[in-house]
Structure 1
Amino acid sequence: MGKNLQTGERLRPVDLARGHGLSTQAVRNYEEAGILPPADRTPHGYRTYTPLHAAALRAFLALLPGHGHQAAASIMRAVNEGAPEEAFGLIDAGHAQLLEDRRTLQAVHSALRDLEPTPAHPPGADPRPGGTFIGPLAAQLGIRPATLRTWERAGLVQPRRDPLTGYRIYDDADIRDARLAHQLRRGGYLLEQIAPLITQVRAAGGLEPLQAALRDWHGRLATRGRAMLSGAAELEAYLRRRE
């Protein structure tokens, strides 16, 4: 493919696919999805690509790790449709989300610093007076009540039930657990990964597993940030080719 790029020769789908671990069908799918600009056709109907298409493919593949498939595809479609400002807005949204995730990570660290062992209660005493219901808590977190019920089944939250109405009641400890679960889900962790961490938090006697998870999350955010830089560089190269 390098020789073709240097000489400006027409490229076949296999030429674009080779070197990227892609199938020729994937290349055709990318064109049909608008990720690559439309290709010319031979008199027999075969697609022919150019170095511009190769640059578009490199840009898309570079955008994927930092922005994800949906956003990367939308960015490329906007550029190919002559709407670069829309593409820039999508990139800005990705960076804004990364910044928000960094703030979320910092919030988890702050929450850990404030954790204290749950005090013991006399036998028969209700350790969780007062509290909030599922609707207000879900609204506070920006999630659906069904999500909180899923977390309860996974053991992430343990609300008590009102003896008269049967409604779930979340006390301060439940809200803390829900906030941590929400933050860790934002960080990409699965429910089965979060459950043992929440258990450690409840015990407040072994935070190292959660600290290790946060260090891993921090590393993945840094990797995503660098991937965004690489994606921006390839997109800029593609934009210059289009000028």
Structure 2
Amino acid sequence: MSLTHDVAVITGAGSGIGRAVSLKLADSGMHVVMVDLDEKGGEETLRLVKERGGEGIFVQANVSSNSDVEKYVATAMDVFGRIDVFFNNAGILGAPARLADYSEENFDRIISVNLKGAFLGLKHVLKVMEKQKSGVIINTASSAGVHSTPFLGGYSASKHGIVGLTKTAAVEYGPEGIRINAICPGGVTTNMTKGMEMNNPEQNGPLQRPASPEEIANVVSFLASNEASYMNGSIVTIDGGLTA
């Protein structure tokens, strides 16, 4: 599968889905800018990319900080001169609780990282892509963004918000030659889901298992490619039929 573009920025690249996408896009020949707050994880992803013959850089950043988002966008432009694919992926789960017991601090932190972080990424990357008159953005929502998720109200709210941002941005920037879609993974075996029950058939849907990060990366790679050239504003579930 040939990809349309040659420079990708990936947030949350230090582990899980972000790492798998970084490796997948680098394997396809793209230059990758890997962004994460976790310096150790981000540097390890960069090492894995280079070990496989890929080219990229790591930028440490807090996606909920406007100045940090400006920094990773500016660094990508300084080093590579353009941004063709943006995988707007960084997120956290937060401590589970029923809504009445959900702490304000927990809710604020989740919304800040997941929803504000996605908004800031869109805000600054769209300015670059608008000048280019081209680009592809894939936002990471979740199955929790399209159906109820008991005990994860803040996370679910943030992911519903990403679905809304995706649809709005797709309509606003489609005429500028920019495609914007979202993925909605179900259960995925990552560091973020450690300690959660991942083998419960009722939680995993008809396939009765969680996904691997690589299975999610395959779909992201497709959405970034020419083969998905007429997909814009799509909310793509990758959940084994959980929300069917």
User: What's the TM-score once normalised by structure 1's chain length?
Assistant: 0.25
Higher normalized strand content (fraction of residues): 2
Higher relative contact order (CA 8 A, sep 6+): 1
Higher normalized helix content (fraction of residues): 1
User: What's the TM-score once normalised by structure 2's chain length?
Assistant: 0.25
